[in-house]
Amino acid sequence: MSGNVWIAGGGVICGIGDNLAACLEAFEKMQPGMGTMQHLHSVHAPTFPVAEVKADNTTLAARAGMPEHWSRTALLSMIAAREAWDSTGLQALSKYRAGLVSANTVGGMDKTEGFMEAFLENNTKGRLRDVVHHECGSVTELVADALGIRHHVSTISTACSSAANALMYGARMIRNGLLDVVIAGGTDSLTRFTLNGFNTLMILDQQPCRPFDDTRTGLNLGEGAGYVVLVSDEAAKDIQPWCRLSGFANANDAYHQTASSPEGIGNYKAMKGALDMSGLQPADIGYINLHGTGTQNNDSSEGLAIERLFAPVFPPMSSTKSFTGHTLGASGGIEAVFAAYGLKEGIIYPNARFTTQMKEVPFAPAVAFSRGNAFRHVMSNSFGFGGNCSSLVFSK
């Protein structure tokens, strides 16, 4: 493998904004996206705050220019992927060997849940077109067809590290000369299945979440989509890319189905591997976008791994999930957009609602939004169920 992989642009939609500009404004104004669910119908609506995209499916379909029978997951994907491509200044997609590598964990489950309500009441009811795109790969295929991407289409589903792994896979395709450009990231919508599952795990906070705070009691679920456009040296010649994807690594501590190892073994190996690929030392990292879900286990294990790798000097760091909620398969893509653009503009993102430093670690997250910071490298962490841990390093 040889050559650079550049970030030519990015797009995002989530609970704090319909595009990247709106999200940046929400960060700067300290306006997290958590609230009472409006579009997901659940008996838990009064109990658990979520960070929903502030639009119903009819509105999203109109914005995406796609049929309303598409799943919410696919509509979010289309909106963010199109914004990502439009932000690059590149020529038409048809001029490149192009790929879409997209992550998700729920597929078209939002539509399936609606179908099952009608079907269980009367087994002659329910529209089959609402279940035909249930599986995760169908979401990717719908968006790839709409964008005209034909050279390579893949779906990644590795829990919360899914979208980060999509970037890694896309980067390998470019570095091996198989593609010129790849739209890489992830998408996920809120579903009752997801909400009920996390409730069963007893890791949902009934208040707005507090990642990396000693008083944390769980996460808030969110939804959205985030994609970057990865390009080769040749494709990057006529544009001004945001930055490079200089390093990445995936590790698995195989400790537990849903928990990280207490020592953060997989977290440490992923961060160390990404640094090694980029040829950097820990002191070179100017900011870390933490995985930072707000659960007791996650923040402790990630924090201990950061201490092991970065001590005694720690870069500014924060969890943007304190604004967006945990968007599951989309999180690594959304946070890659934030990290890569943040490097371009020297942005440190705030960690909302932080009040009390964790006892386990000797550092605290950043609590204020700032621009113009002089750093050359940033890291983004995505650590998933089953110990599937991924880290990305972006460099100027």
Catalytically annotated residues: 160, 291, 326
Q: 12, 225 in Cβ contact below 8 A? A: yes
Give the single-character DSSP code of 357: B
Distance CA 67, CA 99 (A): 23
User: Which of 345, 300, 327 is CA-nearest to residue 382?
Assistant: 327
Whole-number Cα distances in Å, 358 to 4, 220, 271, 374: 38, 19, 21, 27
Q: 147, 81 in Cβ contact below 8 A? A: yes
In three-state secondary structure terms, 92 is: coil
394 phi and psi angles, rounded to 5 deg: -110, 140
Q: Which two tokens stand for residue 392?
A: 């990305």
Position 352: which residue type? A
Residue carrying the six token digits 């050359």: 376
